[in-house]
Structure 1
Amino acid sequence: MPGVLALLLVLSPATPAPAQEFAAQVHDLEHYLGLEPGRRAISEGFAAQVAADTPPVVAALPPSPLRIAIIYPGNQVSDYWRRSVAALTARLEQSGLPYTLDSHFTAAGTEVRRQEAYIMEALDHDPDYMVFTLDALRHKTIIERIIGRGGTRLILQNITTPLKDWEGYQPFLYVGFDHATGARMLADHLIERTGGQGSYAVFYGPPGYVSQMRGDTFIRHIESGSDLELQATYYVGFDRAKARRAALDLLRESPDTSFVYACSTDIALGVADAIAELGLGDRVLVNGWGGGSAELAALAAGDLNVTVLRMNDDNGVAMADAIALAESGRAGQVPTVFAGQMALVTEQTDAATLAALTRHAFRYSDPETAAPSERP
């Protein structure tokens, strides 16, 4: 066995993801919206508000600044998390709501204990709102403690599939971009691009919710709609260097691989590094996931072939507008889940189309790219 495999958790194609099985614990988004009358209408109304140029009107401002705590796995190449904070604060300022922000960034998927310490520290200050995520099963226990404590409205980001165990006491808001939807968009493109023939590998991040929803959904969609053969799956964390080493090992053994499916930006860039190093850019495809600045630059350079471009700032806008509605006595207009829009872009997408998409995606976090009508 090549040496690099000893450093990585490598699974055979038939082996399910270990331990942290989320799929059975969550509602599919479309299924959830249809469970109760009125859910879809509230969701659509809120989506229209997020797309609006102005936030909800807050007639009476709170007597003291709102306390908002954010704990994010933002120490990675992807700028998704930091752009979300920028969009949140810009939209809040546009609304006129006074606030204080206490934010902490940790490594993705590997610093659960540090995240827990930050949460306990933040709760000591009785925040009005807390923004966190759910990717590891240990997060579930932490979140249940926050919900059970009361007094703090909890926003869970980067998850759009409500947990079944929390029916009756869900968080204030789940917000993000549906991982399964993005995975299916990428699968459909790669099936079309390969003619549904050949072989591929899947590079997961750390075991957890994001890896399962992006990776396992992709595999199921490929299996149901093509003759593509899954030859290997790797867990490399959200780590560019590990992804590069694993891709070098894979592609040296199997240079005829049709594509590597990457579950995150860092992974995609590591795979792209290996493809370039081996001179296989004209033979092996690799995708991005999310369409942040680093991915768009790699697409322009021809180092990535396709990605799903999230309308990134919808994240922060949705959180800010939900807060504004709640603070104006209209919490009933806030859905349990908000899932933002995504667009498929490739290295062949024309410049005008890509510019229009990025202007909207980054309209608050990078207002210089936004059209005048979209600038806050």
Structure 2
Amino acid sequence: MNQREVEMNSRRNGLVFGIGIFLLMVAAATMVFAAGQRQPAGARAVRIAYLPPNFEQADFYGQYFMGLTIGLEEQGIEYELVRRTPETHDNHAQQLAIVEDVVTMGVEYIVMAPTHYEGQQQAYRTINEAGVPLFIFNYSDPFPAEFGARAQSYVGYRHSDGGKAVADYLAANYPRGTKVAIIYGTPTQISYDRGAKELHIANGMDVIFEHYANWQRDQAYDAVQRLLTARPDVDVIIGCSSFMAMGAVRAAADAGMLDDVAVFGAGAILEELDSIVAGELTAAWYRDPVRMGQETARYIKLHLDGRANEIAESYNVPIVMIDSVEAIREHIAPVTYTAQGRTVP
């Protein structure tokens, strides 16, 4: 098989809900995956395809998936979730093939985070032509008219808000002239929005280094190693994704320079939170993926009930900076920890 495929079947169990029930669902889903079987159906389940570009339980897409399943339970929806991802996060052709496949399977809803917002226009049109309601997540801006496609809703956040949060934080906590390095993902608008170079310059910061690390931890590590050798006077490194930020942290640690340089992340996934608690990562902006998933489930319920006109075209979660245990306790969804069998710090 040339693509990873996971089918997760879950059933509503009365009106009982809580974190303990969710953990039982996760365990049951793991057994279903291992056995390659489906749970027996009583009432007809709504078949929903969940199509992120990659998936790890503790990362953004895993936490969004948690929120989606929790939300479906909260809404009392009998459902079956089909989760499929391409081999790599940037395999655009494979994600298009996955879209074509799940449309052929007859799914009733598609919840999708595209591998490339602009590059998956054919996938969007394929879904529209099949008449399957599409919910886009990780983006809140509606498709421009030239895409020739539309989604039922766009659930996410503005990436520029994340970039602005870091820029505002630096302006409030660092002097003008602070030397800043920006590690972008790819040459796309998302990278530029998150990097917010113009805002840093406007705030009097000195952007001395920029590099594209393709959203990869190891490429960010290599870039930061070279940076620290060439410009050991750098004060701040901004990683435009969680994994790139953690690659930067590791490079600074291996160079013995964690006390000399501040590293900022993007997303505040569990690994970043652990690094903040450990005093390694300085801070990361946070957009609550659990809440996004719950909101998507609420919209699916509205659509099922014939109330599609009540679905918001765009939904934005607020962006906050996480830089301490206190901020974690105030802003981070507890299920981020409890779903991993851990307690909130």
Same fold (TM over 0.5): yes
Contact conserved, 1:170 with 1:336, CA < 8 A, in 2? Answer: no
SS at match of 2:232: coil
Q: Quick one: distance in 1 between partners of 2:341 and 2:250? A: 31
Deviation per CA, 1:56-100: give whole Å up to 9, x if none: xxxxxxx73211111112246961101111211122122221111
> Which residue of the partner structure matches residue 32 of structure 1?
none
Contact conserved, 1:65 with 1:98, CA < 8 A, in 2? Answer: yes
Deviation per CA, 1:106-136: give whole Å up to 9, x if none: 3564211221121111010222111112325
Residue in structure 1 matching 2:307, options 330, 340, 346 = 330
Residue in structure 1 matching 2:131, options 139, 145, 151 = 151
Q: Quick one: distance in 2 between partners of 1:212 and 1:94? A: 37
Amino acid at match of 2:173: R
Q: Quick one: distance in 2 between partners of 1:137 and 1:106? A: 17
Unaligned runs of 5+ in 1: 1-62, 371-376
> Which residue of the partner structure matches residue 68 of structure 1?
48
Q: Note closer, same or farther for the CA distance 1:203–1:150 as it changes in structure 2 (3 Å cut).
A: same
* 1:299 maps onto 2:280 in alignment: no
Q: Note closer, same or farther for the CA distance 1:73–1:169 as it changes in structure 2 (3 Å cut).
A: closer
Q: Note closer, same or farther for the CA distance 1:199–1:363 as it changes in structure 2 (3 Å cut).
A: closer
* 1:138 maps onto 2:119 in alignment: yes
Q: Quick one: distance in 1 between partners of 2:249 and 2:99? A: 36
* 1:285 maps onto 2:259 in alignment: no
Residue pairs, 1:16-55, within 5 angstroms: none
SS at match of 1:183: helix
TM-score, scaled to structure 1 = 0.74
Amino acid at match of 1:90: I
Q: Note closer, same or farther for the CA distance 1:78–1:210 as it changes in structure 2 (3 Å cut).
A: farther
Contact conserved, 1:154 with 1:172, CA < 8 A, in 2? Answer: yes
Contact conserved, 2:124 with 2:150, CA < 8 A, in 1? Answer: no
Matched residue pairs, number? 302
Deviation at 1:306, TM superposition (A): 0.8
Q: Note closer, same or farther for the CA distance 1:82–1:223 as it changes in structure 2 (3 Å cut).
A: same
- RMSD value over aligned CA atoms? 2.5
Q: Note closer, same or farther for the CA distance 1:270–1:353 as it changes in structure 2 (3 Å cut).
A: closer
Q: Quick one: distance in 2 between partners of 1:264 and 1:101? A: 27
Contact conserved, 1:68 with 1:102, CA < 8 A, in 2? Answer: yes
4+ residue runs over 3 A deviation: 75-78, 106-109, 166-169, 359-370
Residue in structure 2 matching 1:100, options 52, 61, 80 = 80
SS at match of 1:266: helix
Amino acid at match of 2:198: R
Deviation at 1:362, TM superposition (A): 3.9
Q: Quick one: distance in 2 between partners of 1:363 and 1:102? A: 24
Q: Note closer, same or farther for the CA distance 1:298–1:71 as it changes in structure 2 (3 Å cut).
A: same
Amino acid at match of 1:128: E
> Which residue of the partner structure matches residue 215 of structure 2?
238
SS at match of 1:319: helix
Deviation at 1:138, TM superposition (A): 2.1
Amino acid at match of 2:242: T
Unaligned runs of 5+ in 2: 1-42
Deviation at 1:295, TM superposition (A): 0.4
Residue in structure 1 matching 2:194, options 205, 214, 224 = 214
Deviation per CA, 1:292-321: give whole Å up to 9, x if none: 110000101111001112222111101100
Name the structure, 1 or 2, with higher relative contact order (CA <8 Å, separation 6+): 1
Deviation at 1:232, TM superposition (A): 2.1
SS at match of 1:114: helix
Higher mean Cα deviation, 103-112 or 329-338?
A: 103-112
Q: Quick one: distance in 2 between partners of 1:240 and 1:95? A: 37
Residue in structure 1 matching 2:201, options 217, 223, 226 = 223
Deviation at 1:164, TM superposition (A): 2.2
TM-score, scaled to structure 2 = 0.80
Q: Quick one: distance in 1 between partners of 2:67 and 2:210? A: 35
Percent sequence identity over aligned pairs: 24
Contact conserved, 2:184 with 2:240, CA < 8 A, in 1? Answer: yes
> Which residue of the partner structure matches residue 170 of structure 1?
150
